[in-house]
Amino acid sequence: MSTPRPHPRHVLITGASSGIGQALAEHYARPGCHLSLSGRNAGRLAQVAERCRARGAEVSQAVLDVCDASAMAAWIAEADRLAPLDLVVANAGISGGTGGVTAKASVGGESAEQARAIFATNLAGVINTVYPALEAMGPRRRGQIALVASVAGFRGLPSAPAYCASKAAVKVWGEGLRGALARDGIDLSVILPGFVESRITDANRFRMPLLMPAPRAARIIARGLARNQGRIAFPWPTVFACWLLATLPNALVDWLGRALPKKG
């Protein structure tokens, strides 16, 4: 087993104002650690930043939309100039029930507006985070990047087609990047959570099996990142169920899918 990585001294997290992003920020917050945090809600982000400062961390915060590529590039470059980035977590994401986009004119799954917003945030937003991070880490030939996907990326489901597809794209892209970046001394992990308490799961109006508190999810993620695990997937019953679903015949999955509850 490889030796665990040392505690990162500079961690950048997108979507840090709630859910997994908030929990990771608070997990890493300690004396000697600098956190660069972004989110779209200034009030929630400020509260997270204050909690992290109370734990002894230095914190820089920025109200940003990950869809704005130029703003993201400028923010990440400035963060790296402040102190070399050790870990970048591309976490920001939305679902059909979040992101401030309504389901008007929806046919079957998410509306056209929802689908565009989901792909813009969940996929393009990750790209807008990763490439500036690589520009900063590349010359040093060291650093770590984490992409937050989802177990929903194992198989497209009628309850959330665009969300599943966006997370599948992040998962597969990250798996490919890991091997490509290893030659350059940069580690990359793909995170595949099940249901974790967040604004996304708060919008769901159905029972979520094995719903996990965000701080517990953050501990699992941080432990996996310290070990440089390529895939950090949890909890295992949900992971197995989603993996199994992806192996079943389409006709059976179509039949099962009709019984799944839809997101708001």
Peptide bond before 235: cis, by omega within 30 degrees of 0?
Answer: yes
Q: What is the model's pLDDT at position 259? A: 64
Per the domain annotation, does 126 fall within a domain?
A: yes
Q: Tokens 């102190």: give the residue.
A: 83
Q: What is the pLDDT of residue 108?
A: 54
Regions of the chain where pLDDT drops below 70: 1-2, 97-109, 198-207, 257-264
Whichever domain contains 168, its CATH number is: 3.40.50.720
Q: Is 262 domain-assigned?
A: no
CA distance to 45, 184, 191, 192, 206, per residue, from 20 (Å)? 13, 28, 11, 12, 20
Q: Is residue 36 part of a domain?
A: yes
Cα gap 235→241, rounded to integer Å = 10
Which pLDDT score, from 0 to 100, does residue 106 have? 54
pLDDT value of position 96: 74
Q: Is 35 within the bounds of a domain?
A: yes
Residue 103 exposed, middle or buried by CB count within 10 Å (0-12, 13-18, 19+): middle
Is residue 89 included in any domain, yes or no? yes
DSSP 3-state assignment of 62? strand
Check residue 170 and give its pLDDT.
Answer: 98
Please check whether residue 58 lies inside any domain of the structure. yes
Q: What tokens were used for 8?
A: 């990162």
| In a domain? residue 146 | yes
Q: Which residues are catalytic?
A: 163
Q: Answer whether residue 1 is part of any domain.
A: no
Q: Which domain holds residue 249?
A: 10-257
Count of domains forming the chain: 1
